[in-house]
Structure 1
Amino acid sequence: MDATSRTERTPSAYPYPLLIRHMLERAVSDHPASLIVYGQTCHSYRQLRERVGRLADALAALGVGRGSTVGVMDWDTNRYLECFYAVPMMGAVLHMVNVRLSPEQIVYTINHAADDILLVNVEFLPLLERIAGQLRTVRAVVLLDDEGKAREADLQGLRCAGEYEALLSAASPDYLFPELDEDTRATTFYTTGTTGLPKGVFFSHRQLVLHTIACQLALGAAAHCRLDKRDVYMPITPMFHVHAWGMPYVATNLGLKQVYPGRYVPERLLKLRTEHGVTFSHCVPTILQMLLMSPASATTDLSGWKVIIGGSALPAALAKSALERGIDVVTGYGMSETCPILTVAFLDEDMLSWDLEAQARQRAKTGRPIPLVQLRIVDGAMNELPHDGKSAGEVVVRAPWLTQGYLHDPEGSERLWRGGWLHTGDIGVIDPDGFLRITDRLKDVIKSGGEWISSLEIEGHILRVPGVAEVAVIGVPDERWGERPLAFVVPSRPGAVSSEEILQALRRAAEAGEISRYAVPDRIVFLEEIPKTSVGKINKRALRERYGAA
């Protein structure tokens, strides 16, 4: 840029960097009495600000400062929300440790992120005692206990600095947070991909502020599933998974009452929904299905509950079931690398008069980009494909909040960003109305008889068959056809559906031209449970490893 075209600033002018601290200060100023609930604890936003100051003061006493990394192993609690603010506001990095990874992967992520301090829920003490000797950078551990008690633990030489609430009680709420560059790294999270070691993604203050503002704009302008200051918020996406999709920052900005559920138990979630009048949540499809199938659901009024579904494809049949219970359900799309939200399938005003089946199909699409997101579908040469609802290509994106690379992985970072666009690895089509529909993952597309087959489309048709609770489809090697689809089905109850009923439904779909004839599997495998990743996604890699060679 020509130096003469830059905006001039007098030396005394404050440049106002986009910092997490500025979001919290405004939220507390505007909504000091709003409440944050976890279990038997209830704090106001004014108390949240005091506790954030106390946490920062306590961490500083343990040597945390600019450039330090603080790892957190906890369920969805008020403590995690306090960490979302205190750690980045100090100029340190918050590492949200995925507690559902294997012990070996947890060790890898803590060492790779170079965590200095670990905050650990006492429920994970047996795990911590098992891995403590392998942690190379951790200097001290703070225990998180709902009962506020000191605990004995064999941490293999690691210093136990005390219990969280005791440390906060002894600390000052007046910690002076430093001025920071808005590009200072604020958070780190590790992807839960099904291949190789977890990859570290990272986000700056600027990125998190812009993601928060864009999500707030998109949700506030929607014709339905709208989020505003009258809502009561409860996350049902782990806070260790990409900042619970960034929604706690949005909820705090709006001054909402927030309810944190700890561990996810369907009956408890439904009870909290009723007790606190929860109106807005987000979760993966498997959690939504668990809620709808829970015996407690039959006696719980679910009407008026606005729920964004992400993490994996929302089946239209599941969307319709939710709509029939009065849940305003809609798909959101993103990934760990994208902070994560890119699109939401908000319906236009006229679409809300459609019948439930038509609405369910539209709500199950991937949606339109939220503000500041550029999204394309491209072929292998990065040529843009028509928005005709038929031409399928890889989804590539740009937005201010996308991870700028993988932590300590320059080669992987360049592959992610080849051509100057972030490659999602998803295949999709865009219709003339601008709605994106993901048709498959690049690695999950099945090539059979010279045709590309979408595993997601087959799954969608199988889910419409009565008696099917859950389904996953993978490609397995075939000497004649190259690959053939293999379907795994969990019935709603033993004997609820037969292989022939499923295959007949798929043959009818093929005859009607809805799917290719090559898409009809040769057989159906019934399972009691389909393997999942640590965040509840179907783990097709595990299925391929177990059944692919059979």
Structure 2
Amino acid sequence: MEYVDIDSNESAYAYPLLVKHLLHTPLAHAPDQEIVYRGETRLTYRTMRERIARLANGLTRLGAEKGTTVAVMDWDSHRYLECYFAIPMMGAVLQTVNVRLSPAEIAYTINHAGAQILMLHTDFLPVVDAMKDQLETVHTFIWIDDEGSEASAHSIPFASEYEHMLAASEPSYDFPDFDENTRATTFYTTGTTGLPKGVYFSHRQLVLHTITGMAALASPVSGQRFHRGDVYMPITPMFHVHAWGMPYIATVLGVKQVYPGRYVPDQLVKLVRDEGVTFSHCVGTILHMLLNCGEAKTVDLSRWKVVIGGGALPQGLARAALDRGIDIFAGYGMSETCPLLSLAQLKPGSETLDIDEQVNLRCKTGLPVPLVDLRIVNEEGADVPHDGKASGEIVVRAPWLTQGYLKNPGASAELWDGGYLHTQDIASIAPNGYLQITDRIKDVIKSGGEWVSSLEIESLISQHPGVSEVAVIGIKDEKWGERPVALVVLKPQFVPLVSEDEIRNHVRAFSETGQISKYAVPQIVRIVDQLEKTSVGKLNKKRLREQFA
């Protein structure tokens, strides 16, 4: 027998899953709800809808059309939220530029994405001015001015300023229907080696991720929830995986949203207090800084729910947060997964567990959210037992995973080998279903929420004339999550001449010229006599981590 298609009346509306449809609910439920920027600028959802239309009209006037890639370099703001909607709703592609990359990497990502329009905040004028001649596809620049920001001297030929462009544009725009599989966003992820890789997501994927995220966050009996009564503030940059998709979820729910601009710990805590923020997400290093800043000592944080991702949630940090009344729990995903895969929410009945058991569960990698098909497999691709002991690689399927790497078929095939997306994270699953990451396949270091390539640092250190061998490993750090540590064997004639500070400064020089991120500079360098090797002569980084942890 054949499958039977549904009959469709010729006048029926075949509702495509497009980003524009996410605006129906907040405009019906909460058109006068606030969206706040830095505690200074305030607008409503109704006003935001008009500004989205003005932005689309302004970009159209400057040559944007369906398929145009528009790159954005801004801090977390109401403007960025408008770009999240207006650009994809036009049928164009939003590129969220990772401003923490080195200047050379930023230029590469903009060129590789083929961005034709670049919008940039005043603070990034020096970076873009220095690289503008290297930008191969950008033909239009838009300046994002900001009250209190000082513009440096530059020669960027701006076509317009953001607010001036909106003021000169009509407050209505007929956003068209098109195929829901049209690409909506592009951004770049950095891994262990090589240049950043582009990932991309369709309208359909963003809408399904939004709906599922709402369902997952609404499901607990109590705690670890996000609902219509919350006040949302991201502390994960909006250039990073759509700020974990939460601005779309917050918008559909019509909640008050608070955007902090550039992250300053005391200012973030003030916004939590003054704006009544109840839900945020960030990496553990950021929360650690917030809890230890001066402003946090006197602020009541007992209504705040915080999801920690981008690395493991240490139990010490979880306890410190719980002691302040923060409802803290971990989440897991990656750039390639849009990102949500799992959340460490407590199951019904967990309130009877003692505090140690509850903390342990909150710090797990979590339970898969709806629609996620998550497996732990061995090297042969076979499932390993869910006994909390056997480990394997996490492989996943979900409706919102990137379908490949932009213009990189080889890496795309490797990512999707066997029809499952390979995360390269090693984990186990306990009998109660909780996932726990235990290691990484490749020796990548995560410092301050950013990936740092150990191989890249090793390559730079090896260029020092006195270096014979080098291994770079990651060790745990309370503030940064991990920090790179360089273990260096010197050439015999250089042993009395080269110091650990000299090696560190050697790497710092590459950071100062923009070739690597500042997070890649090892804070610890150790001169050693030899490096542990495997039986086939490779560096045994597992043993090195055990020795120097």
**TM-score normalised by L of structure 1:** 0.82
CA offset digits 1:41-88 (Å, max 9, x no partner) = 101000010000000000000010100000000000000000000000
What residue in structure 2 maps to residue 193 of structure 1?
191
Alpha-carbon separation, structure 2, partners of 1:391 and 1:543: 34
Distance 1:490 1:220, change over 3 A: closer
Distance 1:24 1:341, change over 3 A: same
DSSP 3-state at the match of 2:95: strand
Alpha-carbon separation, structure 1, partners of 2:150 and 2:426: 51
> For the Cα contact (< 8 Å) 1:194–1:539, is it kept in 2?
no
What residue in structure 2 maps to residue 357 of structure 1?
356
Are 2:301 and 1:302 equivalent residues in the alignment? yes
**Correspondences of 1:118-267 after superposition (within 5 Å):** 118-147=118-147, 154-155=154-155, 159-223=157-221, 224-267=223-266
| Alignment-mate amino acid for residue 101 of structure 1 | L
> For the Cα contact (< 8 Å) 1:242–1:336, is it kept in 2?
yes
Alpha-carbon separation, structure 2, partners of 1:287 and 1:47: 32
Shift of 1:31: 1.3
> For the Cα contact (< 8 Å) 1:345–1:364, is it kept in 2?
yes
CA offset digits 1:96-140 (Å, max 9, x no partner) = 000010000000000000001011001100111100000000011
What residue in structure 1 maps to residue 83 of structure 2?
83
Alpha-carbon separation, structure 1, partners of 2:309 and 2:59: 34
> For the Cα contact (< 8 Å) 2:192–2:442, is it kept in 1?
no
Are 2:430 and 1:431 equivalent residues in the alignment? yes
Alpha-carbon separation, structure 1, partners of 2:520 and 2:143: 36
Shift of 1:26: 2.6
> For the Cα contact (< 8 Å) 1:211–1:246, is it kept in 2?
yes
Distance 1:295 1:541, change over 3 A: closer
Shift of 1:359: 1.5
Shift of 1:545: 10
Are 2:337 and 1:338 equivalent residues in the alignment? yes
Alpha-carbon separation, structure 2, partners of 1:175 and 1:339: 28
| Alignment-mate amino acid for residue 56 of structure 1 | A
Distance 1:148 1:361, change over 3 A: closer
Distance 1:542 1:186, change over 3 A: farther
Question: Superposition RMSD on alpha carbons, in Å?
Answer: 3.1
Shift of 1:162: 1.3
Are 2:369 and 1:370 equivalent residues in the alignment? yes
Alpha-carbon separation, structure 1, partners of 2:478 and 2:346: 31
Distance 1:14 1:490, change over 3 A: closer
**Correspondences of 1:47-58 after superposition (within 5 Å):** 47-58=47-58
> For the Cα contact (< 8 Å) 1:150–1:163, is it kept in 2?
no
| Alignment-mate amino acid for residue 87 of structure 2 | V
Alpha-carbon separation, structure 2, partners of 1:107 and 1:484: 29
Distance 1:65 1:323, change over 3 A: same
Alpha-carbon separation, structure 1, partners of 2:527 and 2:47: 53
Distance 1:538 1:352, change over 3 A: farther
Alpha-carbon separation, structure 2, partners of 1:36 and 1:346: 28
Alpha-carbon separation, structure 2, partners of 1:487 and 1:174: 52
Alpha-carbon separation, structure 1, partners of 2:525 and 2:406: 28
Q: Which moved more, 1:230-239 or 1:23-32?
A: 23-32
What residue in structure 1 maps to residue 269 of structure 2?
270
Alpha-carbon separation, structure 1, partners of 2:208 and 2:527: 44
Distance 1:487 1:186, change over 3 A: closer
Shift of 1:194: 3.7
Alpha-carbon separation, structure 2, partners of 1:484 and 1:138: 39
DSSP 3-state at the match of 1:349: coil
Alpha-carbon separation, structure 1, partners of 2:518 and 2:350: 30
> For the Cα contact (< 8 Å) 1:270–1:291, is it kept in 2?
yes
Alpha-carbon separation, structure 1, partners of 2:88 and 2:137: 19
DSSP 3-state at the match of 1:443: coil
Distance 1:352 1:541, change over 3 A: farther
What residue in structure 2 maps to residue 114 of structure 1?
114
What residue in structure 2 maps to residue 522 of structure 1?
none
Question: Which consecutive residues of structure 1, in runs of 5 or more, have no partner in the other structure?
Answer: 446-454, 460-471, 478-482, 493-526
Shift of 1:487: 7.3
Alpha-carbon separation, structure 1, partners of 2:424 and 2:120: 34
Alpha-carbon separation, structure 2, partners of 1:138 and 1:95: 12
Shift of 1:356: 2.7
> For the Cα contact (< 8 Å) 1:148–1:166, is it kept in 2?
no
Alpha-carbon separation, structure 2, partners of 1:407 and 1:238: 22
DSSP 3-state at the match of 2:349: helix
Distance 1:154 1:36, change over 3 A: same
| Alignment-mate amino acid for residue 183 of structure 2 | R
Shift of 1:358: 2.2
Alpha-carbon separation, structure 1, partners of 2:475 and 2:149: 46
Shift of 1:91: 0.1
**TM-score normalised by L of structure 2:** 0.82
> For the Cα contact (< 8 Å) 2:25–2:253, is it kept in 1?
no
Alpha-carbon separation, structure 2, partners of 1:546 and 1:435: 38
What residue in structure 1 maps to residue 492 of structure 2?
none
DSSP 3-state at the match of 2:360: helix
CA offset digits 1:151-174 (Å, max 9, x no partner) = 68644xx64111100100000011
Alpha-carbon separation, structure 2, partners of 1:540 and 1:150: 29
Alpha-carbon separation, structure 2, partners of 1:222 and 1:335: 23
**Correspondences of 1:520-531 after superposition (within 5 Å):** none
What residue in structure 2 maps to residue 406 of structure 1?
405
Alpha-carbon separation, structure 1, partners of 2:243 and 2:16: 24
CA offset digits 1:2-41 (Å, max 9, x no partner) = 4x62222122211100011011133212210111000311
| Alignment-mate amino acid for residue 286 of structure 1 | T
Shift of 1:302: 1.1
| Alignment-mate amino acid for residue 146 of structure 2 | D
> For the Cα contact (< 8 Å) 1:233–1:258, is it kept in 2?
yes
Shift of 1:193: 2.1
Alpha-carbon separation, structure 2, partners of 1:204 and 1:250: 16
Question: Which consecutive residues of structure 2, in runs of 5 or more, have no partner in the other structure?
Answer: 459-469, 480-503, 532-549
Distance 1:366 1:139, change over 3 A: same
> For the Cα contact (< 8 Å) 2:123–2:151, is it kept in 1?
no
Q: How many residues align?
A: 479
CA offset digits 1:222-250 (Å, max 9, x no partner) = 23121111100000000000100000000
- Share of identical aligned residues, percent? 54
What residue in structure 2 maps to residue 319 of structure 1?
318
Q: Which moved more, 1:409-418 or 1:173-182?
A: 173-182
Alpha-carbon separation, structure 2, partners of 1:97 and 1:163: 19
Alpha-carbon separation, structure 2, partners of 1:143 and 1:293: 35
Q: Which moved more, 1:25-34 or 1:268-277?
A: 25-34
